[in-house]
């Protein structure tokens, strides 16, 4: 089985497996307010098998890793890189499970080689660009959708299971094509832009009982948006692309 999955790996310098639909106009502000038009796989409504991998210090990175990104971002692999531990990897997979439950997405882990890596790669870096963790939208560059964590406070961060998985889930939202409610051309109305509706919001839910566990999982708007982008979970599209 693992051999079949290799075709979903990409070269370290990127892939053309993404699809830019341009600004979406689904007619539903709950969807249009947190999407940017980009997704992995085919056009809107088609599922995707998305590979991921965990780089090591020996991993290969594209020479143009920083291309297309503003500011300092892009130097993460060369600035105090550290690989994810087994425990951290398992929390990544827990976050992925929640997105797989939300839409027609399958994540497949691949082992990194000099010529093949996952579409989404995870690493720790000493490069601080203003956020403890960050990712980006699907796109053609090697860096698109990679998830970086700033290494300060690592033990503290990863000892909080719900907190770590919650942020991973938010970053994976970006990696899949979701944006903050305040980003882009179409924004969420202010009164809807909170974490009770979407994990992509900066604003806490008005009712704390919404998430008693403290676990941030995809919320209603996220599920609507992911379903719009990738189709509903268990759709046959994923296995019968046409
Ligand atoms: Zn974000």
Which tens digit of pLDDT belongs to each residue from 135-176? 999 988 889 999 999 999 999 999 999 999 999 999 999 999
Q: How far is the CA of 222 from the centre of ligand 1 (A)?
A: 13
Q: How far is the CA of 3 from the centre of ligand 1 (A)?
A: 34
Which tens digit of pLDDT belongs to each residue from 172-191? 999 999 999 998 788 999 99
At residue 237 the predicted structure's pLDDT band, cuts being 50, 70 and 90, is low
Cα separation values, 207 from 80, 193, 200, Å: 40, 13, 17
Say how many C-beta atoms besides its own lie within 10 A of residue 191's C-beta. Answer: 8
At residue 1 the predicted structure's pLDDT band, cuts being 50, 70 and 90, is very low
Domains present along the chain, CATH in parentheses: 2-231 (3.40.390.10)
Q: How far is the CA of 174 from the centre of ligand 1 (A)?
A: 7
> What global pTM score does this model have?
0.91
Which tens digit of pLDDT belongs to each residue from 10-26? 888 876 688 888 878 89
**Residue 214: its pLDDT value, please?**
56
Which tens digit of pLDDT belongs to each residue from 62-113? 888 876 566 677 889 999 999 999 999 999 999 999 999 999 999 999 999 9
Strand 18-20 versus strand 38-40 pairing type? antiparallel
Q: How far is the CA of 194 from the centre of ligand 1 (A)?
A: 13
Q: How far is the CA of 130 from the centre of ligand 1 (A)?
A: 12
At residue 2 the predicted structure's pLDDT band, cuts being 50, 70 and 90, is very low
**Residue 32: its pLDDT value, please?**
95
CA angle 116, 145, 127 (to 5 degrees): 95
């Amino acid at each position: 089985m693992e051999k079949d999955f290799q075709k979903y790996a990409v070269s370290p310098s990127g892939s053309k497996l993404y699809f830019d639909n341009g600004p979406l106009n689904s007619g539903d502000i709950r969807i249009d307010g947190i999407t940017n038009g980009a997704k992995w796989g085919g056009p809107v409504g088609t599922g995707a098998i998305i590979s991921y991998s965990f780089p090591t210090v020996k991993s290969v990175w594209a020479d143009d890793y920083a291309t297309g990104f503003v500011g300092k971002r892009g130097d993460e692999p060369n600035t105090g890189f550290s690989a994810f531990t087994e425990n951290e990897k398992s929390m990544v997979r827990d976050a992925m499970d929640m997105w797989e439950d939300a839409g027609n997405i399958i994540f497949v882990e691949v082992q990194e080689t000099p010529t093949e890596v996952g579409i989404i790669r995870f690493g720790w870096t000493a490069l601080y660009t203003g956020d403890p963790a960050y990712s980006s939208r699907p796109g053609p560059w090697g860096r698109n959708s990679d998830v970086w964590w700033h290494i300060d406070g690592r033990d503290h961060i990863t000892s909080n299971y719900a907190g770590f998985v919650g942020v991973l889930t938010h970053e994976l939202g970006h990696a899949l094509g979701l944006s903050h409610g305040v980003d882009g051309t179409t924004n969420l109305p202010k009164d809807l832009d909170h974490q009770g509706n979407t994990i992509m919001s900066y604003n806490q839910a008005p009712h704390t009982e919404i998430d008693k566990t403290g676990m941030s999982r995809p919320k209603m708007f996220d599920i609507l948006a992911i379903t719009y982008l990738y189709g509903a979970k268990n759709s046959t599209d994923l296995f019968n692309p046409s």
